[in-house]
Structure 1
Amino acid sequence: MSALHYRIRPADLAGHYFDVTLTIDEPAADGQIVWLPVWIPGSYLIREFARNITGIAAYSGKKPVELRKLDKHRWQAVPVAGPLELEYRVYAFDLSVRGAYLDDTRGFFNGTSVFLAVAGQESQSCDVDIAAPRGEAAKRWRVATTLPAVKVKDGGFGRYRARNYDELIDHPVELGTFDQESFKACGVPHDIVIAGRHRTDFKRLKKDLKKICEAQIRLFGEPAPFDRYLFMTMVTGDGYGGLEHRASTALITSRPDLPLAHETDRKTGYIQYLGLCSHEYFHSWNVKRIKPAAYAPYPLDREAYTRLLWAFEGITSYYDDLMLLRAGILTPQQYLDLLAQTLTGVERTPGRRQQTLEDASLDAWVKYYRQDENSPNALVSYYTKGALAALCLDLTIRLRTDGARSLDDVMRALWQRFGRDFDRDGQGVGETEWEAVASDVAGFDLKAFFDQALRSTEDLPVVSLLDAFGVDVQQRPPLGGSDKGGWRGGTISAGISIGARIAADPAGIKLTQVFDGGAARAAGLAAGDVLVAFDGLRVGAGSFDGVLASYPAGAKVHVHAFRRDELIERTLPLQLAQADTWGLKLREAGAYPLRLSWLDE
């Protein structure tokens, strides 16, 4: 029997409230403290989940017990002789993968949002009773979770058990009338749950996910680190996102991105969704078990700083699409097209000249997760540039060892040393250990590589490395605002650029971000300004590309714009668009044996 007992029930569907009861059999003699995490692992931002607790009370033997709030996320009960019971209500209306959500169609929660931790007893096992909501609307509701079941009904409502608080909060729960299908990968049961209206071709989805999962399990070596895995997807009109857990992932995707039975090809949106699934699944090894020492254990009452996020998110971002290639979902050229889009995204970020990958990792709490209109000028993504650093590291090792070693070997070594026995030993990777392991596995000193890739703002050696693997590189101007990258034949002339990102506005064109060194910045325009006229003529988003094309480079245009409610006039010096768009193509002539092993042609 567990000494801690939770009960959670969807109590008010229309009001979006969960009711939770926590019973502590042996509370602290000097007055038990309980607390709620301020962030959720995998999403590096202080989110203050305790703000959603709208009412809380304590009892012992059915008698009220004084409960004093200590700070933003902690409460303390006065000493009691017997068991202590806390009852509280949680507001749940966060339609994301990070919090909790409840309405009359669906429920979802992460433990970090709803389960109070018992100070001093975080290592104790705990039982969780998940109760069904009342009312006609919820009679067909079911439960989907990877929490170990103790005694549950056919629909999944009933009792579950976690070994400790860390495990309790690492198994999100989906409630509702979702659709569910199953498959096996390397003999391990996998479930797919999709909530929301959809017409998904489950046959195709199961076939594709099985290939991806088996490719990843075989990369690290069987057996898989879980007995069962669950893909949970919430379908919306235009959503996208995911969050990893030790035996499951919570995902949000756009309805059109899921595969339909009548479709013969894998559409762009579906490939993006599979890439998201691949990314979160890879985290089962890389960050859930191979993890920074700063996360072992997670200090959930404060920020956890590490300079290694590039390795855990960036390397995962490298492997997510690479695993689609190895699974046979993508052709080598399709993979290179996606890689070109990543290169383009980084190239178009002036902040890559300001922030190193190590600093990007360290500053995730205050910069990456708190982006504003100036973020492209001030920061670089440890996801995208981290993926490119992983690419360069992989190709460097393959090249220097004539194909005898690769980043795969580094990841397997990290798994054997830190990940495989993490549940038993709890050993995280130290801030300097990751690089030491990589050098040891590669068989040569990688310090110079890491100094350039992680601790400088120099360009990565992408071009020279790809050339050695028989991949031609094209750097060209964009062919309009929707051009994300990819190889283009023929002569490409540079168009006109104002050096800003724009969005349609009822009054004209809104500048959402203004880039350092661009024309808009030179003209004194700022993010938030709404352009209404070029040389006295009204402009709109639909005609803007044509308006720009009517001017030569170097032309100075008299523009009118609204800044807040004030009309301003500026002179805009038009510039040629930069060659910031990448294309990659397999070189046909010549033999490239190293390319064969990398792209698995």
Structure 2
Amino acid sequence: MPRSVTHKVFWRRGLAAPCAVALIGALTGAVPAQAAPTAPTLLPLPPAIPAPVNQAWPGVLQLEVDASDLDHRVQQVRLTVPVKRPGERLTLLYPRWLPGTHSASGDVNQLAGLIVRAGGKTLAWERDTVDAHAFHVDVPAGVKQLQLEYQHLSPVNRSNGRVAVSPAIVGVQWNQVMLYPAGHYASAIQVQARLKLPAGWQQGSALRGLDGKPTQPGTDGWVRYAPASLETLVDSPVFAGRHFKRLELDEPGTPNPVALNMVADEAEQLEATPEQVQAHRDLVTQAHKLFGARHFRQYDFLFAQSREFGGIGLEHQESSENGVRPGYFKDWDKRQGSRELLPHEFVHSWNGKFRRPADLWTPQYNLPMRNSLLWLYEGQTQFWGHVLAARSGLSTPEQSRDRLANTIAWLDARAGRLWRNLQDTTNEGTMGARGRGKDWGDWQRGADYYDEATLIWLDADTLIREKTAERQSMDDFARAFFGTPHASAADGAVQPLTYRFDDIVATLNTVAPNDWAAFLRQRLDRTGTGAPLDGLARSGWKLVWRETESKFARGSGGGGDDAERSQDLSWSLGVRVAADGKLDAVAWDSPAFKAGLAPGMQIVAVQMASYKPERLAAAITANKDGKQPVALLVKQGELYRQVSIDWRGGLRYPALERIAGTPDRLGSLYAPRP
């Protein structure tokens, strides 16, 4: 190649000199030496947050929370922090990993307006560049305490999070309004809290007043609590309301008593019949008979009925947060859906709070939790919550069977079990997925360890009964595993007692010898079709299909209007349809899925007539002979299209039916203990 042509190639392309040399080498056959590429330099991370040690923080933190601003739903916070070592850097943490949520659910974005002062001067603070929940303050020499002011901005609408402040109800979770010093166990930090409520309001909490008794606001609107460890404070939220009622669920003088603290949008929603009150008292009685000990000094159900205050079910050792739609008492005979909530959260005082998985327990709220044993923590709690609802009369045996049938049918059709085992679903919290919607939930799976583990423990219960000629059952496991207090403690101990997989297996073997490790691992680790239903058959019942919904399904809304319920066609077309025709869910690989339907689409018409639930149900029934496929007009965004689904199985709803000639072990499980 002529030299002039070569240079034209170099400079017309804008090649730098090294590139020119490389090209010359390629043309001539010479290979020049290559210099090592220059890589960016990795900067060192900031100093690590101090690891917690079990040493007392000097002094008592003073926390004041003004929750009286209902208009803006802003809680004003003042916090006084005694200083450990003046002249050094202090790190304050906003709780991130929260017990009961099994995830990093603490939202530091809800903290705003942070000002730090000492000796009348404002101090600069710095957020950690790696852990956004950590704040650093350089403490001047001679300073004995810091004064902090900031706000907790409770969500105003549901799109920004759970609404915890409404015109009639306020919920205070202390972790949301708290900064605490790093480097110490939460149990080693003492806090004295005060809470201001709107005029005339009352409150319920496991926290006690300075006299050790349940307390209410003074004439100035402030509730003053006795000093408590940060661990106890965070584990003792508050429900307060314009309309409030407290019911004692134990006889006067009962040690470690239980009470129901109720708030609601309207005062009439707090009115319960004597029979309804007795069912809640029987819940406490049956739980005590099951576990044999109370690992709390006192226990306070916090219970809200509201359309605006966010729904919740969150466990604590000496209380629980429970929020449902209105109608819990008023629609008692029509709606059973929410009546396993209180039993579930109550069981958690034993299972999850007192007995806690060793890999889930952490000494404070900014260390990651691990959730490998949630199939016992949540799964067996779901099982006992279901059973105690039946034993106490919160649910009838028929309602309990209806609920179980729906659970079994839902799990048996769960497409995601083909690729994802139950053990892996315990990672939902650490994946950051829990609480977020999933378009293809049955394929992706979610927190299935709740309900599927219910079937595992039903399987274990019936197997124990069979092996021991009905002399032993899971009741014996519950008393042995959850009912035994610490060796050196009496009833009322609140210190957690941790456990591992081998502890579960060992206790099961004391009840009925078996290869329980293999039993559990096979059910936790397998993939493939079908839910674990051996326990159902051994209980004397089987799953069948009917053309009408069960009473449970019709009343499963937990309060509210019938019009708000979805039309559930999960076991026929494979869809769940909202009142306006929008598809809430489409089952993976179902007839609707194969026809091209997806969540978020809207059914506009059925058989060329406007959508109505009864019209769609009639169309499904009419195609049993295959002569008139279900014709839908659906809308997706601004586009419309017609869809035809040739489903010939008619309407299908699950139910349980007795297996003739077998013992009714399910009936024995549901029967109240004398």
Asked if these proteins are the same fold (TM beyond 0.5), I'd say yes
For the structure 1 residues 360 and 89, does the alpha-carbon distance in structure 2 shift closer, same or farther, using more than 3 Å as the test?
A: same
Q: Distance in 1 between matches of 2:322 and 2:272?
A: 17
Task: Give the aligned partner of residue 217 of structure 2.
Answer: 155
Q: Distance in 2 between matches of 1:272 and 1:434?
A: 31
Task: Give the CA deviation at 1:132.
Answer: 2.8
After superposition, residues 171-250 of structure 1 pair within 5 angstroms as: 171-185=236-250, 187=254, 188-196=256-264, 197-199=266-268, 200-201=271-272, 203-222=274-293, 224-237=294-307, 240-250=311-321
After superposition, residues 541-556 of structure 1 pair within 5 angstroms as: 541-551=613-623, 552-553=625-626
What are the Cα deviations for residues 225-280 of structure 1, in whole angstroms up to 9, with x where unaligned? 122221111111497542111111111122212258xxxxx5242x4444211111
What are the Cα deviations for residues 117-160 of structure 1, in whole angstroms up to 9, with x where unaligned? 22124343423332435xxxx32123321113226975364432
Task: Give the aligned partner of residue 300 of structure 1.
Answer: 365
Q: Distance in 1 between matches of 2:476 and 2:156?
A: 40
Task: Give the aligned partner of residue 263 of structure 1.
Answer: none
Task: Give the aligned partner of residue 54 of structure 1.
Answer: 112
Task: Give the CA deviation at 1:286.
Answer: 0.5
Q: Distance in 2 between matches of 1:190 and 1:388?
A: 30
Counterpart AA for 1:574: W
Q: Distance in 1 between matches of 2:90 and 2:223?
A: 27
1:79 aligns with 2:136: no
For the structure 1 residues 483 and 87, does the alpha-carbon distance in structure 2 shift closer, same or farther, using more than 3 Å as the test?
A: closer
Task: Give the CA deviation at 1:530.
Answer: 2.5
| Counterpart contact for 1:8–1:128, Cα < 8 Å | no
Q: Distance in 1 between matches of 2:325 and 2:605?
A: 36
Q: Distance in 2 between matches of 1:549 and 1:477?
A: 12
Task: Give the aligned partner of residue 567 of structure 1.
Answer: 640
1:445 aligns with 2:515: yes
3-state SS of the aligned residue for 1:403?
coil
For the structure 1 residues 258 and 303, does the alpha-carbon distance in structure 2 shift closer, same or farther, using more than 3 Å as the test?
A: farther
3-state SS of the aligned residue for 1:257?
coil
Q: Distance in 1 between matches of 2:470 and 2:579?
A: 50
Task: Give the aligned partner of residue 465 of structure 2.
Answer: 398
Q: Distance in 2 between matches of 1:533 and 1:424?
A: 58
Q: Among 299, 321, 327, which residue is 2:392 paired with?
A: 327
For the structure 1 residues 577 and 336, does the alpha-carbon distance in structure 2 shift closer, same or farther, using more than 3 Å as the test?
A: same
Q: Distance in 2 between matches of 1:331 and 1:437?
A: 31
For the structure 1 residues 586 and 510, does the alpha-carbon distance in structure 2 shift closer, same or farther, using more than 3 Å as the test?
A: same
Task: Give the CA deviation at 1:51.
Answer: 0.8
Task: Give the aligned partner of residue 408 of structure 1.
Answer: 475
What are the Cα deviations for residues 500-552 of structure 1, in whole angstroms up to 9, with x where unaligned? 222243xxx33332222222222223222233355655544452222333334
For the structure 1 residues 11 and 511, does the alpha-carbon distance in structure 2 shift closer, same or farther, using more than 3 Å as the test?
A: closer
Task: Give the aligned partner of residue 379 of structure 1.
Answer: 445
1:36 aligns with 2:94: yes
What are the Cα deviations for residues 296-335 of structure 1, in whole angstroms up to 9, with x where unaligned? 2266335422221121111111111311333355554443
| Counterpart contact for 1:57–1:86, Cα < 8 Å | yes
After superposition, residues 276-295 of structure 1 pair within 5 angstroms as: 276-295=341-360
TM-score, length-scaled by structure 2 = 0.76
Task: Give the CA deviation at 1:409.
Answer: 2.0
3-state SS of the aligned residue for 2:480?
helix
3-state SS of the aligned residue for 1:234?
strand
Q: Distance in 2 between matches of 1:561 and 1:251?
A: 38
Q: Among 75, 79, 100, which residue is 1:22 paired with?
A: 79
Task: Give the CA deviation at 1:55.
Answer: 0.5
Counterpart AA for 1:371: G
Q: Distance in 1 between matches of 2:547 and 2:430?
A: 32
Task: Give the aligned partner of residue 108 of structure 1.
Answer: 171
Task: Give the aligned partner of residue 118 of structure 1.
Answer: 181
| Counterpart contact for 1:236–1:255, Cα < 8 Å | yes
For the structure 1 residues 578 and 453, does the alpha-carbon distance in structure 2 shift closer, same or farther, using more than 3 Å as the test?
A: farther
Q: Distance in 2 between matches of 1:272 and 1:9?
A: 35
After superposition, residues 122-141 of structure 1 pair within 5 angstroms as: 122-133=186-197, 138-141=198-201
Task: Give the CA deviation at 1:178.
Answer: 3.2
Task: Give the CA deviation at 1:457.
Answer: 3.5
Q: Distance in 2 between matches of 1:594 and 1:556?
A: 43
* Structure 1 portions without partners, runs of 5+: 261-265, 487-493
Counterpart AA for 1:391: L
Task: Give the aligned partner of residue 65 of structure 2.
Answer: 8
Task: Give the aligned partner of residue 40 of structure 2.
Answer: none
Task: Give the aligned partner of residue 379 of structure 2.
Answer: 314
What are the Cα deviations for residues 20-46 of structure 1, in whole angstroms up to 9, with x where unaligned? 111112244421111112243212343
Task: Give the aligned partner of residue 489 of structure 1.
Answer: none
* Structure 2 portions without partners, runs of 5+: 1-57, 556-568
Q: Distance in 1 between matches of 2:224 and 2:441?
A: 46
| Counterpart contact for 1:296–1:427, Cα < 8 Å | no
TM-score, length-scaled by structure 1 = 0.85
What are the Cα deviations for residues 534-576 of structure 1, in whole angstroms up to 9, with x where unaligned? 5655544452222333334386566543222223455533342
Task: Give the CA deviation at 1:497.
Answer: 3.5
| Counterpart contact for 1:20–1:87, Cα < 8 Å | yes
With 142-151 and 13-22 compared, the bigger mean Cα shift is at: 142-151
Q: Among 524, 528, 542, which residue is 2:596 paired with?
A: 524
3-state SS of the aligned residue for 1:64?
strand
Q: Distance in 2 between matches of 1:205 and 1:466?
A: 30
| Counterpart contact for 1:337–1:584, Cα < 8 Å | no
Task: Give the aligned partner of residue 491 of structure 1.
Answer: none
For the structure 1 residues 194 and 93, does the alpha-carbon distance in structure 2 shift closer, same or farther, using more than 3 Å as the test?
A: farther
Task: Give the CA deviation at 1:434.
Answer: 2.4
3-state SS of the aligned residue for 1:326?
helix
3-state SS of the aligned residue for 1:148?
coil
3-state SS of the aligned residue for 1:320?
helix
Q: Distance in 1 between matches of 2:354 and 2:409?
A: 32
Q: Distance in 2 between matches of 1:409 and 1:185?
A: 24
1:600 aligns with 2:671: yes
Q: Number of paired residues?
A: 575
Counterpart AA for 1:392: D
Task: Give the CA deviation at 1:58.
Answer: 0.6
What are the Cα deviations for residues 394-418 of structure 1, in whole angstroms up to 9, with x where unaligned? 1111211222332222222222668
